[in-house]
Amino acid sequence: MKGTLSAFIAGAIFGIGLIVSEMVNPVRVIGFLDLAGNWDPTLAFVMGGALLVTAIGYKIVLGQPGPVFSAEFELPKNKIIDRKLIIGAAMFGIGWGLSGFCPGPALVGLGTLKPDILLFVISMIAGIKLFEWFGERRAG
Amino acid sequence: MTFSIYSALAGGALIGLAAVAMMATIGRIAGVSGILANVLKPASALHWQWAFVGGLLASGLFIHWLVQPVVIQVQSSSVMLVVAGLLVGFGTRLGSGCTSGHGVCGISRLSPRSLLATGVFISFGVLTVFVLRFF
């Protein structure tokens, strides 16, 4: 219960961070990616602020015996650099450049009830499901 | 468009704070694409995953309707949004993460996978925006 509440609060803080930094606005994101145009450095500072806090915070937290409301830290164990990682990141980058949306800002932006964002989120969900469908077919 | 270094840094710090809070309380990475994918499988979705996505949605709803309107300028056509959404959804699952999981949480741990993935998605984002200039 406490863990669930913490995750809700963390999600809300995350969303407020995306709003305060204007990363919910795709024009800002595309402005950062547009090196040949009127470059907008905002995203670099948002990332810098986030990395500074997370790097220091993780250092402190991961030095503890475990998380407060759960048994243990669960960090990604996969260390293999493969084609899937690179092709997946490339596909994501193309979609990100086309729209200026990545998953976090898209979910936060849904709150404005703008049809464009709903269209993006439904398509993103379709993309996730398509991946799972392909994965199951290959495994089966 | 004006640029404010302070709101950028402050917003970024809040994102970092949320990532650290997730690790400190429930010991998990704050990776939005992975958590969303799990929530979309209701049979196996965990409470904290629902709660995290709920917090993201609630923040947008609350700020936009009760505090001040959130500015979101979408310039892409509907067709582009659909193609982009499909690529973002499929690509983040294939590559096991997005801007939050790889870009923030992974790089903070100096994960080689995340450093590479972030370099790749930013490069392809830059390339895509550059190519779009000719259309």
Q: What is the pLDDT of residues B33-79, one digit of tens each?
A: 999 999 999 899 999 999 999 999 999 999 999 999 999 999 999 99
The nearest alpha carbon in chain A to B27 belongs to: A73
- Residue B23, both tokens: 């690790």
Establish whether this prediction's ipTM goes over 0.85: yes
Helices and strands per DSSP (H, E), number in chain B: 6, 0
Q: Which three-class secondary structure string do you get for A13-72? A: HHHHHHHHCCCCCHHHHHHHHCCCCCCCCHHHHHHHHHHHHHHHHHHHHCCCCCCCCCCC
Which amino acid type is present at position A140?
G
Do residue A85 and residue B113 have CB atoms under 8 angstroms apart?
yes
> Using the beta-carbon criterion (under 8 Å), do A10 and B18 form an inter-chain contact?
yes
Answer whether A95 sits within 8 Å of B83, measured CB to CB: yes
Domain ranges across chain B = 76-135
Residue B14: closest C-alpha in chain A: A17
- Contact at CB, A125 and B9, closer than 8 angstroms: no
Residue by residue, pLDDT tens for chain A (140 residues) are 899 999 999 999 999 999 999 999 999 999 999 999 999 999 999 999 999 999 999 999 999 999 999 999 999 999 999 999 999 999 999 999 999 999 999 999 999 999 999 999 999 999 999 999 987 777 65
Which residues are CB-contacts of B50 (< 8 A; sequence separation ≥ 6)?
A: A4, B39
- Residue B10 to residue A137: CA distance in whole angstroms: 45
Instruction: Out of B40, B47, B98, name the one closest to residue A125 (CB).
Output: B40
Place of tokens 């669960």: A74
Domain locations along chain A = 2-139
- Among candidates A16, A67, A94 on the partner chain, residue whose Cβ is nearest the Cβ of B23: A67
Distances (CA, A) of A70 to A62, A73, B22, B113: 13, 8, 11, 26
**Per-residue pLDDT tens digits for B98-125:** 999 999 999 999 999 999 999 999 999 9
**Which of A15, A40, A48 is the closest to B56 by Cβ?**
A15
